[in-house]
Structure formats: structure tokens, C-alpha cells
């Protein structure tokens, strides 16, 4: 077994100035603006339920999902807005889902934790910590069984690694990988906290990649505030998964700037100073500065991206606000395909 490695892009090759990086920056800025809008709308009472925003972790979604191909399948936990958006889900319909509207990606039946957009390869946000890891493992088996080259990406947090389904999924993925039947990339979004419990307090062994390797799955750590580093690892690893049908795990070391959820106001588990310190390693800032220094990205370009992102987020809010609520008859649809409940004739 290899030692834990921590990949970080120290040099930038010429490809760094490819237009794709500008797109990634644009997407990261948009995710930030979108999440800020969701927090605002939550405060205004327009968004119900739980709301877990992604601010600070943008490089994890964009660095990996920009490296996959059409047809690949993505599973996520409940902090799932960025994954859906990066895969191409319509921001208006994502926001409408948060507003509980008929035009939402899940018809207003899922909400923030259960975004779903099969057309774009997003097979769901899931709300029970660790539960979806087994689903992703089975999905990967199915893709190989059907003799496709497609792979699965499965996001989860450091907090998911202490629940039984994590261990069952890892063991089965390790077993199936030996037969080349489990092309799945597990991505640990290690933001240091299981809700409000820090990694030192929730994991007996804090080297998370080492824990994955215990199941005979290759794993490596990456500085996930640096999207160059994330993407670099992703390109290599995804190629390998596609070729071998074996699972792989990236431990993306990141930090969330917002509370665990919108109701996490006081954040007694960390200090303001700690958050401020991490803001110096804002993934958007890191990419922006690099493109500015090396590729000549101008302040005007950045300003335009910022404005454009704000505008798109505002449009999404407007769309969500103006969309109709689900028809009451929708209460009874999609429970099962067959033998389902019948809506009452009077509704």
C-alpha cells in the first residue's frame, strides 16, 4: 500500500490557460452566488426545510465533475446543489425545487436534500448520511454488467465514514473491484466536521484515505481548495477507473464557510477566526488569482463573471418565485409505478 500522498499543483503547465479554466472559474463563482441566494431566500422564508450550502467547497464539485464524461452517473449526500448545477441541471429548476414548486427538478417533492436530474446524470441527493454509498456501488456494478464504459462518482462527507453502510459499501466495492465490476470514484468531501463534530472527535483514525485503503481500494488525499490539484488527480484517476473497473477514492480536503445548515447560526464548534483563516484559502480566489497572474485574466473579466453569476442567480430566484406550487393531485403520483394510491376524486 502506498503512503498517503497529498497532491498539490505546484507548477502550472501551459494548459492552465486553456479556456476551460475560465469556465471552471465562472462555474465556481456561479455556485457561490447561487448558494448565497439560497441562504437569502431561506432567511426570507421562501425556502423551507433544511438547507445545506456549499460555499468554500466549490473546487470539489467543479474539479471532478469537469473531468467526467456524458453518461457518467453522480450520487451525492444532502449538500448537493453544486453537484447538480455543475452537471448541467437548470439553475432555475434547482431553485424552484428549493422553493417547493412544480417546476423543480424533482417536481417539488424532494427539496434541497433530494435534487435529482437523471437526464444530466445526477442520481440524487440523499438525506440519510452514508446511505447512498451502497447505491453508488450497485450502480457501478450495473454499468459494468451492461458492458458500458460509464463510471459512477459518489460524493460524501467525512462524517459519513463512521456509519455501517460506509463500511459495507467499501467492502463490497473492494470485492467487486477485484473482478473489474465496480467503476466508482468515491469522493470524500473532508471539510473537517461531521455537522458540528470535528474529525478528531468523530474518527478514531483521522487519516481517512487510510481507512478506505483498508478495503483494498486505492485512495489519495488532495488539497481541494486548489481546483488545479483536484482536476489533476481527477483526470488521472477517472481514466484509471474507466480502464480497470476498480473503485478509487479521492479524499478532498476542503472547508465550508457557511454553517452546517442554515439553522447553524452560532457554530459553537469553531471560532470566527478559524473561518476567517480559511477564507484566505478561498478556492475561487485561488483560481482567480492564478488566472490573473499567469493567463492575464483582467479585473473586468472577473467583474463581468461576478455580475453575470449574480444575474443568473437572481433569475433563478425570480423563476422559482413565479412558478406554481405543485397540483394537489401530485401528492399521490410517483409513490409506486404500479398498484399505487389513487388520488381522491375531489382534490
Residue with cell 426570507: 44
Give least dist CB 221 to other proteins, A. Answer: 25
Q: Least distance (Å) from other proteins to the CB of residue 154?
A: 10
Specify the residue, 39 or 301, whose C-beta has the smaller distance to other proteins: 39
3-class state of residue 64 by DSSP:
helix
153 is a contact residue toward other proteins (CB under 8 A): no
Sign of dihedral through CA atoms 196, 198, 201, 204?
positive
Phi-psi region of 267 (alpha: psi -120 to 50; beta: other; left: phi over 0): left
**Residue 342 binding other proteins, by CB under 8 A:** yes
Site for other proteins contains 334 (CB under 8 A): yes
Out of 108, 192, 247, 283, the residue judged to bind other proteins by CB under 8 A: 108
Edge to edge, what strands does the sheet with 184-190 contain? 6-7, 218-223, 248-253, 184-190, 152-157, 73-76, 122-125
Can you tell me which of 5, 13, 69, 118 binds other proteins, judged by CB under 8 A?
A: 118
d(CA 40, CA 310): 13
Counting Cβ atoms within 10 Å, is residue 147 exposed (0-12), middle (13-18) or buried (19+)? exposed
Nearer to other proteins, 107 or 221 (CB): 107
Of residues 9 through 68, those in contact with other proteins by CB under 8 A are 42-46, 48-50
Task: Compare residues 30 and 116 and give the one whose CB is closer to other proteins.
Answer: 116
Q: Which is nearer to other proteins, 186 or 228 (CB)?
A: 186
Tell me which of 21, 54, 141, 193 binds other proteins, using CB under 8 A.
Answer: 141
Where in 74-103 is the site for other proteins (CB under 8 A)? 75
Strands 193-194 and 197-198: antiparallel
Amino acid at each position: 500500500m502506498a503512503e498517503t500522498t497529498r497532491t498539490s499543483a505546484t507548477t502550472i503547465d501551459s494548459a492552465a490557460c486553456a479556456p476551460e479554466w475560465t469556465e471552471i472559474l465562472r462555474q465556481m463563482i456561479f455556485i457561490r452566488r447561487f448558494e448565497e441566494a439560497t441562504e437569502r431566500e431561506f432567511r426570507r422564508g421562501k425556502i423551507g426545510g433544511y438547507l445545506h450550502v456549499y460555499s468554500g467547497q466549490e473546487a470539489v464539485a467543479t474539479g471532478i465533475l469537469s473531468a467526467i464524461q456524458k453518461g457518467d452517473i453522480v450520487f451525492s449526500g444532502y449538500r448537493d446543489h453544486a453537484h447538480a448545477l455543475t452537471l448541467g441541471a437548470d439553475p432555475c429548476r434547482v431553485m424552484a425545487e428549493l422553493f417547493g414548486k412544480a417546476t423543480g427538478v424533482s417536481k417539488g417533492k424532494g427539496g434541497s436534500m433530494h435534487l435529482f436530474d437523471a437526464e444530466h446524470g445526477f442520481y440524487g441527493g440523499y438525506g440519510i448520511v452514508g446511505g447512498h454509498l451502497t447505491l453508488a456501488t450497485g450502480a457501478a456494478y450495473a454499468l459494468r454488467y451492461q458492458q458500458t464504459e460509464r463510471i459512477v462518482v459518489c460524493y460524501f462527507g467525512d462524517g459519513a465514514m463512521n456509519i455501517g453502510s460506509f463500511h459495507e459499501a467499501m467492502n463490497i466495492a473492494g470485492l467487486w473491484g477485484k473482478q473489474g465490476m465496480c467503476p466508482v470514484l468515491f469522493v470524500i468531501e473532508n471539510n473537517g466536521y461531521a455537522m458540528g463534530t470535528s474529525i478528531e472527535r468523530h474518527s478514531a483514525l483521522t487519516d481517512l484515505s487510510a481507512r478506505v485503503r483498508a478495503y483494498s481500494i486505492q485512495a489519495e488525499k488532495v488539497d481541494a481548495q486548489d481546483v488545479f490539484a483536484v482536476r489533476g488527480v481527477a483526470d488521472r484517476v477517472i481514466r484509471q477507473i474507466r480502464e480497470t473497473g476498480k473503485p478509487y477514492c479521492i479524499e478532498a480536503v476542503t472547508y465550508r464557510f457557511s454553517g452546517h445548515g442554515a439553522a447553524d447560526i452560532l457554530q459553537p464548534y469553531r471560532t470566527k477566526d478559524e473561518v476567517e483563516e480559511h477564507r484566505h484559502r478561498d478556492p475561487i480566489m485561488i483560481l482567480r488569482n492564478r488566472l490573473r497572474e499567469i493567463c492575464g485574466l483582467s479585473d473586468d473579466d472577473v467583474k463581468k463573471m461576478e455580475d453575470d453569476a449574480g444575474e443568473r442567480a437572481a433569475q433563478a430566484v425570480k423563476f422559482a418565485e413565479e412558478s406554481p406550487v405543485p397540483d394537489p393531485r401530485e401528492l399521490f403520483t410517483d409513490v409506486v409505478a404500479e398498484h399505487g394510491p389513487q388520488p381522491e376524486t375531489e382534490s
